[in-house]
Structure 1
Amino acid sequence: MSVAFAASLAALALLDSTSVGTLFVPVVLMLSPGRPRVVPILYYLATITVFYLTIGVLVALGGGVLRTGLGSVFAGDRGYWLELAAGVALFALSFRFDPKRRAAKGKSPTATWTERVHRTTGSRRALIALAIMAGTLEVATMFPYLGAIAMLAGVAWPIQVAVLAVYCVVMVLPALLLLALRTALSERVTPILERANTWFQRHATSATGWILAIVGFLLVRDAAYQLGFFAQMGGASAGS
């Protein structure tokens, strides 16, 4: 696995770390007055990590079965051409997201999630259920994760699972870092959490468009590399 490939996966994981389920909900939990209830929040983060990993393994397994059944379609460079087409399609789709038009449609998604978080009242079981709900509702929009799974399509199965596990851990690292700071520094971290909360409320509707564009770019970049486009460009430059 090249450094560039690993860096692309890390970039996708960090994109996933900014979703409602992986960061916004933990931030709302940490904004509760007084010292944060660390163990319940860790239960929440562990649950959503395991949920994402399970979904990733199932999707990768299903993709492997599909590639086996349609081997002639995905064989050789055809699979990378399909990845290239998917990346271009996602990049084009990102332009259809109009933040102002979508923000005008009813209650903000972040307001709904804030209400759900407040209803958990710190219960571990309620937080675990909340994590499963967040992961389930985000399945259809986990574009960075699906992009990472697509990039791992040609990798051996055990390595795929190991990389997906590391990916899911990286995905919750920002929330874990904020939780550590909130525990160690108490109310001194509150302004940072409040700014993160405000950012989500203002930009949650436009984030999907940016995520689509970035995932599309990374898929195009990976497919172009696998198809040798960069090598051809380098050879052409050297020849001139």
Structure 2
Amino acid sequence: MIIPIESAGALLVLALTDSLSFGTLLVPVWLLMAPGLTRLHRILLYLGTVAVVYFAIGIVLMAGGRSLLDSPSGLLESRPILVGQLAAGVILLVISFALDTKAARARATERSQRSGRIRRWRERAMGGGKASAALMGLAITAVLVEVASMLPYIAATGIITTQTSTWTTALLLLACYCLVMIAPALALTIARLTARNLIEEPLHRLDEWLTRNTRSTTLWIIGIAGFFLAATAIQSLGWIR
């Protein structure tokens, strides 16, 4: 076993949570809803770019975390840091519930209906001769947009860093995590190609739902990340076994 089963389960939950984000699900659904035939190579190019960018960011995060773990003081495992991590997790949980109000959801829905930004991205990305460059640019932009809400990913890289002893194992886990992140979008792509008539209406409804509920989904993801940060800190502090 590479890591304890409970840590593997936490990573799976976090990866599936990350798979519901703007860049890993909303944008791919919009691309799949583009008029005409579904171009598999373009969807794969987009998802591959997203996975590679996330993988690169993960390496940077793990490098920083591992350097702290290897320091003589063991900074990441010190009591003040763990208490701070617990406080941050609780704050994120509170924020996720406090900001997800009916009024905020209504305003977000109204803004999403007025905005044509995602549609313009899709038309450019799925369009003419420079579509590949546009798709890669869209993928990188989508990941950068998510940096502020990349909390599940940060929590996941923290788990990988603390639960692995070698870079080879850590990179393997990180690669698997990134693959799980794009798996739902890949599944929808395959369904679109193999059962277009059956998937058309459900995909359209999913597209509308994701557009309306982007704000709530983001806050939900933040709440899950807060829970894992707090739970990990409590366990590391020895308050539960």
Q: Of 185, 198, 222, which aligns to 2:195?
A: 185
Tell me the TM-score normalized by structure 2: 0.85
Aligned to 2:144: 136
C-alpha spacing 1:116/1:152, structure 2 compared with 1 (3 Å): same
The CA distance in 2 between the partners of 1:75 and 1:225, in whole Å, is 11
Give the aligned residue type for 1:135: V
Q: Once the 2 structures are TM-superposed, how far is the Cα of residue 33 of structure 1 from its aligned partner?
A: 3.0
Aligned to 1:117: 122
Q: Once the 2 structures are TM-superposed, how far is the Cα of residue 55 of structure 1 from its aligned partner?
A: 0.5
| Structure 2 residue 158 is matched with structure 1 residue 156 | no
Give the aligned residue type for 1:104: R
The CA distance in 2 between the partners of 1:217 and 1:119, in whole Å, is 38
RMSD: 2.3
Q: Once the 2 structures are TM-superposed, how far is the Cα of residue 16 of structure 1 from its aligned partner?
A: 0.7
Aligned to 1:4: 6
Aligned-residue identity in percent:
36
Q: Matched residue pairs, number?
A: 231
1:180-222 Cα shifts (integer Å, max 9, x gaps): 1111112221112112101112211112221111111122222
The CA distance in 2 between the partners of 1:197 and 1:43, in whole Å, is 20
The CA distance in 2 between the partners of 1:222 and 1:66, in whole Å, is 17
CA contact (8 A) 2:112 2:212 kept: no
Q: Of 183, 200, 210, which aligns to 2:210?
A: 200
Q: Which runs of 5+ in 2 are unaligned?
A: none
Q: Which runs of 5+ in 1 are unaligned?
A: 232-240
| Structure 2 residue 181 is matched with structure 1 residue 171 | yes
| Structure 2 residue 96 is matched with structure 1 residue 94 | yes
The CA distance in 1 between the partners of 2:68 and 2:98, in whole Å, is 30
The CA distance in 1 between the partners of 2:220 and 2:235, in whole Å, is 23
CA contact (8 A) 1:56 1:149 kept: yes
Aligned to 1:13: 15
The CA distance in 2 between the partners of 1:138 and 1:176, in whole Å, is 20
SS of 1:74's partner is: helix
1:62-102 Cα shifts (integer Å, max 9, x gaps): 23334555835334555544432332222122234245236
Aligned to 1:108: 112
1:27-71 Cα shifts (integer Å, max 9, x gaps): 111112343000011000000000000011111112333455583
Deviates more, 1:64-73 or 1:167-176: 64-73
CA contact (8 A) 1:83 1:150 kept: no
The CA distance in 2 between the partners of 1:126 and 1:70, in whole Å, is 46
